[in-house]
Structure formats: C-alpha cells, structure tokens
Structure 1
Amino acid sequence: MDFRKLISFGKTSFVVSLPKSWVTKNKLKKGDLIALEEKENELLLSPKTEKTKSEPKEIIIDISKLNTDDIKRRIIPAYINNNNTIIVKGDDLEEKAKEVRDILQNLMALEIMEQTANKIVARDLLNMEKISVPGLIKKMDIITRDMIADSKTSFEEDHYENIHHRDEDVNRLQFLVFRAVKCAFDDPKVMKAYSMNSEQLLGIWRLSELIEKVADETKRITKYIQECKLKPSEKKQILELYGKIEKLYVDSMKNYYKGNRENLLNLASEKKKLIKECNELIKKNYGKQGFGNNIIEKLINMIRASHNVGRIIYS
C-alpha cells in the first residue's frame, strides 16, 4: 500500500499526488479528467477515457521439438494473457497439427483462421468488457454439482467418459475466468465494466481454482469407483460419506453467493469432522484388498477445497 500526504489547496480544496506508474499505465497527461466516486470510507479514482479499442496483442509460439504437454504450457498461458492472435509455428508442425488444433479449439471463443504446413493462426472473438465473471463461476459450479451427482451413481453405471468431458468444460471456463481477471488488472476500463475491485477479482480467481479442484477430484473418484470391487456394505459407507461431502460443497457455494459469513464460519467446523470420518474408514479397512482408499483420499481433497470456499468470504 502506498501513502500520500494531503496538501491544502486554497480554502475549499485539498490536493494529493498520483503515482507516476498509474498515470503512465492509464496513458494520462496534464489536463486530462479523473473521475471520482465516493464509496463509504473510500474514494475511487478512475481515468475518464473515451471508449477506444485496446491495441490487439499477438504472440508467435515456436513448437519445434516440443511434446504435447510443452505445447499446452505455451498456448494456454498465451490465451490467459489476453493475446488476441496466437500464431503457432514449427519445423514439425505438420505432424503435430491435429494436437495443436485440439488445444486451440479447447479454448473458449478461439477460432482457427488460417492453417498452412508450417503455421496455424487462431484469433479470439471475445469482447472482454462484456464477459460476466460471476456467470462463468456459476456455470463451473453447476457443471461440478452435476458431475458429483452422476459420480455417486457410478458404482452401478459407467459415467466416467461423460464426467471426463464435463471436467474439460470446467477447465475451459476456468481459463476464461483467469483471462478475464488478468484483463481487468491490466485494463482499468475492464475492471470498471465488471464492477469489481482487486480483492474481489483475486477471490474469483481463487474460487475458480477450488471449483476446478472439486471437479478434478470428482473425475478421479469416478475412475477409481470403476476399478474398485467393493461389497455392498462398503459401497454404502463410501456413498454416505460422499453425500456428506457433496452437501458441504453445495452449502459452501450457496453461502458464498449470499456472502453469508456467519453460515460459512459454522460450516468450517465440518472439515475436521468429515476428515476424521474419512481417516476412520481408512483405518477400519486398512490392508483390505480392493478397498477404495484412493477414493477416500480424493474425498479428503474435496473436503479441503469446499472448506476453502468459505475462507474467501470470512478470511
């Protein structure tokens, strides 16, 4: 936090200097107007700018001799960092073209505009000021709730492929949340359009990570359910525990939306109780061949992620 000294200016006004970095970032000059908005004990300053389009950003990525994971590690951050045009080149691009196309097409609102033997060009079709960040979070949450509901029935039916695809949908939405948050920090006009401050945006970033974690563990639990050979009594024990953890996640999200700090503080005590139940179940069945300890370990991760949703509000 930066502190500035208040200077008296005449009988009715006071003056405070602005950080040069902020003035430069917002491309302000002497004589430009600054908008002031009073909020309780805060005074919000923003540049009064005309609606102009930001300069489009472009990045060239050379994928020569890179494997699929390394290519992902370059393309996805390029998307998150708001590059409007992503150009992928490489000596061996022709043989990797399908992998590159799959990665690009798995990112929301990114269209492949051109493809040759040694170049693929993708451009985004997004107006970042019109993105609803809370709307993206709600979509992630709804998909994740449905994944959990279907995962619980996987002892009887095979839902793994379906859940795996929905987990990819959650990932796509998370990447767009990351992109929106980074765009808001880089462009004050976008932050103003979102009607959110820096603290709220950081909370949204963290929340998207937690929802994605729950979705990811749901996918893994479903896979382990398919592999385990459990007795009916053992399935019942795990399903009862799974149901309690599902409730913790749903209640945490509902109270997050309401901003109900008191309810979230009350829910916080559920974490230790549920982890204790998980550990007791592992201990009770330790060494039993085929018992789903892998499932329970992933359930513990879901408990922790669900608990941390509340911490965004009450911490």
Structure 2
Amino acid sequence: MDVRHVQITGGSSFMITLPKEWANSVGLNKNDTINVQAQPDGTLLLFPRGVQPLAQKRTSKSIDVTDVTDLKFIYRELIGAYIAGHTTIMVKSAQPMSKELTSVVSSFVQTAMGLEMIEADESHILIANLIEHEAIDMKKIVERMGSLVKNNVKDVYHAVQTGDYSRIGNMAVKDSEINRIYWLTHRQYNMYQKNLTSLTKDGPSMLKFTGCLFLSRVLEGIGDHVVSVSKFILGIKGGGSPIKLDPFVAELGERIIANLDLSIKSWINLDIELAHQAIKEADELVIDAERSMVGNLKSSERSSLNAVLELFTIVVAEYCKYISEFSFSASME
C-alpha cells in the first residue's frame, strides 16, 4: 500500500500528492479534473473524468462450441457469461451449428432478462445485453421474486386441497421466471463489485447488494423445491380429485406460507421484531412437522403426500430462518 502524507495549503485546504505511476497509467495531465467520491466505509474513490469504471465498459465473451457436444455444458457457459456481466456474448463454431445447439442458445436468450440475438448464421450467434445496469433496482426485483415464490407455494396447497392441478401443471415454466430474476440479481451484484462509483454515501451499501444476492439465492432454492413437490403431486394425483390431507398438514401449509411472507417482510423493512418473530415461528414449524412425521411413520392409512409436505415444510422453514437471520444482522449495520 502506498502511504501519502496530508499537507495543508492556503491555511485550510488538505492536499495529498497522487502516485505518478498511476497518473501516467490513466493519462492524467496538468489541469485535468478528477472525480472524488466518498464511500460508505469512509474511504475516498478517485477516478479521472473520461475514464470509465470497469462495469461501464463494453466487454465481450467468446464461446467456441466447435468440439463441444454436451448442450447442458454450453447452456451453463452462457449463464456464466451473462452473470459475469459481459455486454455481448459471441457463440462461434468452425462447423455449421446443429439445430439442437441453436435451440439451446435461443432458449437461453429468451430466459435471461435483457438479451437479444442480434446476429446469427450457421457459424456464429451474437447476443447483446440491452438493459442499462444503473437503471435496475435490485431490491424491487428481489421483492418481485419473493412474491412469485410465495404464490407458487400457495398453488401447491391449493392444488392438493381443491383438485385444481392446473396451477402446478406448468410449475417448471413459472419457476423459470424465478431463475431469470436470480441470474439478473447475480449479474447486477457482479456489476456493482466492478463499479464502486455506484456506492454513494447516501445510497445503497455493498451489504445491501449482498443481501439482495443472498435472498435471491434462498428464494431460488425454495422455488426448486416447489417444482419437485409439484412433480410428485402430479405423479400421484387421481383423476383431478382432491388428495386427502391430514388436517394438521394442511395447517402446516397455512403456517409456512405466513412464515415465508413474514420473513420476506423482515428483510424488506430490516425489522428485527419481525425477524425475531419469523425465526421463532420457523423453529416451531420445524418441531411440529418433525413430530408429526415421526408420530405417523407406522400409520398404513397415511398417504406419502402428507410426509412429503411435512418435509417440504421443514425445508422451507429453514430457508425462512436464513432470510430472517440475515435481516437481523443487516438491521444492525
């Protein structure tokens, strides 16, 4: 670390000299201006006018698929390039691309937010991001994600109790909306890390951005479990009729939906009272669901769905605790 001594000029102004090597590397000359920005942690960020922060520069990622036959691997490469924050993604091949490969790229573009396929032929596909990074409010998109996850959990219990399975028949499609918000949140977090000028004294801190990323990851995990439970229900449903649930399991469903809502609210408002209440109720849910499972293991009349939903309650309750515990810590900032 380069240490500079503070000097006083004119009797009241504080002054330090700039490292010559750095000044030369950014092309700084006499009478040039430098932006000075105070950071939430008390440090100063200096950058010459006309020099773009890394996150504002246009970057491109090239993916060569010539010898790649695993389409899932290619899909994950595309997701990784998107999350890394590249402005454009070039998919290229020395051989004509197969219809299957083109379909995978097209599916990715349709799923990820803000992307368009602007060039395409048999040897290359150029994908461009059209969303302005600074225009996105991470907290609002994560709040929307929470609303989607909560509604999907509600749909699971509604389907079982009413026999209306239409709400969970396309759960994988609805979950893709949750995934695309998670990708965008992760991308935004990486962009903010590259561009500290986004963090102003009165604006959001990196802790808040970390909280958005953390919550989106937890919600994405709950969404995946909802998809798995929905597949199980669709596999055992009988002719569109309701599936018999233990009254206590149905009650657990109502309680876990309320707990998820409370946990998300505790994060949105950074309310330690709500967070504490949500953690307490989640602990009680886990205890009650475990006791119910153990007490009914030997019952031959008990359906497997009851056990699956009890386990689902335990998993979601643990996720809710993660959210509320983070809310508690973040509120102490």
Give, in whole Å, the separation in 2 of the partners of 1:73 and 1:34.
39
- 1:275 counterpart residue number: 286
- 1:201 counterpart residue number: 209
What's the TM-score once normalised by structure 1's chain length? 0.85
Does structure 1 residue 284 correspond to structure 2 residue 295? yes
State which of 229, 243, 249 in structure 1 corresponds to 2:260: 249
Summarize deviations over 1:254-302 as a string: whole Å, max 9, x none: 1211111232123222232111112112212225564233333232221
Q: CA deviation at 1:153?
A: 0.9
Give, in whole Å, the separation in 2 of the partners of 1:244 and 1:160.
20
Aligned-residue sequence identity (percent) comes to: 18
What is the DSSP-based 3-state SS (H/G/I as helix, E as strand, rest coil) of the residue aligned with 2:159? coil
State which of 177, 185, 191 in structure 2 corresponds to 1:177: 185
Give, in whole Å, the separation in 2 of the partners of 1:36 and 1:81.
25
Give, in whole Å, the separation in 1 of the partners of 2:293 and 2:113.
40
Q: Which amino acid aligns with 2:231?
A: K
What is the DSSP-based 3-state SS (H/G/I as helix, E as strand, rest coil) of the residue aligned with 1:88? strand
- Which segment is superposed worse, 295-304 or 162-171? 295-304
Q: Is the 8 A contact 1:229 1:291 kept in 2?
A: no
Question: Structure 1 pair 209/42, CA: closer, same or farther in 2 (3 Å)?
Answer: same
Q: CA deviation at 1:107?
A: 0.8
The aligned length equals 310
State which of 83, 107, 112 in structure 1 corresponds to 2:112: 107
Q: Which runs of 5+ in 2 are unaligned?
A: none
Does structure 1 residue 94 correspond to structure 2 residue 98? yes
Q: Is the 8 A contact 1:261 1:314 kept in 2?
A: yes
Q: Is the 8 A contact 1:203 1:312 kept in 2?
A: yes
- 2:75 counterpart residue number: 72
Q: Which amino acid aligns with 2:159?
A: S
- 1:312 counterpart residue number: 326
State which of 148, 152, 161 in structure 2 corresponds to 1:143: 148
Give, in whole Å, the separation in 2 of the partners of 1:19 and 1:267.
51
Question: Structure 1 pair 252/116, CA: closer, same or farther in 2 (3 Å)?
Answer: same
Q: Which amino acid aligns with 2:304?
A: F
Q: Which runs of 5+ in 1 are unaligned?
A: none
Give, in whole Å, the separation in 2 of the partners of 1:161 and 1:309.
28
Question: Structure 1 pair 138/17, CA: closer, same or farther in 2 (3 Å)?
Answer: farther
Q: Is the 8 A contact 2:133 2:188 kept in 1?
A: yes
Give, in whole Å, the separation in 1 of the partners of 2:18 and 2:294.
61
What's the TM-score once normalised by structure 2's chain length? 0.80
Does structure 1 residue 84 correspond to structure 2 residue 87? yes
Q: Which amino acid aligns with 2:277?
A: N
Give, in whole Å, the separation in 2 of the partners of 1:163 and 1:19.
57
Q: Is the 8 A contact 1:183 1:190 kept in 2?
A: no
What is the DSSP-based 3-state SS (H/G/I as helix, E as strand, rest coil) of the residue aligned with 2:283? helix
Question: Structure 1 pair 18/174, CA: closer, same or farther in 2 (3 Å)?
Answer: farther
Does structure 1 residue 214 correspond to structure 2 residue 218? no
